[in-house]
Amino acid sequence: MSKMHVTSRINGESREFLCDPNQTLLDVLRDELGLTGTKEGCSTGDCGACSVLVDGRLVCSCLVLAAEAQDKLVETIEGIAGDELHPIQQQFLEHAALQCGICTPGFIVATKALLDKNPDPDEKTIRYWLAGNLCRCTGYDKIIRAVQDAAKDLAHPA
């Protein structure tokens, strides 16, 4: 199999990489580009740990071929924070909505996708939107509260 040359914009930077035709975006992000914040959980698209945004759309990077990232905008957990924590990240910390860290990046990316589309979601919408992300440690109530407070912070920055 010959490698494919792919050019993408990842976390705001133009990036080029070579990948096998059957290599996942998750594998390239972690192994080729060193973006290890995106976690591998199930490798079947069931847990959401590997969630990233591709052209603003929430996807499980374990189900996306790396070659599909050609000419796409990809945002990972590393791209969400600037010099300081993003309000979503800050609220996850303040609400203790994280423990082992495997699911946390996926939840934060999914939350960003939600709040980009709906800046004032109700609890039912949050629960529905995050249903594709599984947590075995923290419990979902802390996560829901963190999302609600992040929405408030983003609507009314300090």
Does one domain contain both 137 and 115? Answer: yes
Would you state the pLDDT for residue 157? 83
pLDDT at 158 over 80: no
Tokens 């990489």 appear where?
17
Q: Write down which residue in 80, 110, 130 finishes a domain.
A: 80
What's the structural domain count of the chain? 2
Does one domain contain both 54 and 28? Answer: yes
Q: Write down which residue in 43, 64, 80 finishes a domain.
A: 80
| Cα dihedral 50, 56, 57, 58 sign | positive
Question: Are 95 and 145 a contacting pair, CB within 8 Å?
Answer: yes
Average pLDDT estimate for 128-156: 93
Q: What is the DSSP letter of 30?
A: I
Does one domain contain both 10 and 71? Answer: yes
Beta bridge partners, 74, equal 10, 54
Q: Write down which residue in 23, 48, 80 finishes a domain.
A: 80
CATH code (residue 23):
3.10.20.30
Would you state the pLDDT for residue 138? 76
The pTM score is 0.95
Number of H helices, E strands in the chain: 6, 5
Does one domain contain both 12 and 73? Answer: yes
Dump pLDDT digits (tens) for 90-118: 999 999 999 888 999 999 999 999 999 99
Q: Which residues contact 19 (CB under 8 A, 6 or more apart)?
A: 3, 4, 6, 28, 32, 66, 67
pLDDT at 1 over 80: no
CATH code (residue 148):
1.10.150.120
Does one domain contain both 134 and 99? Answer: yes
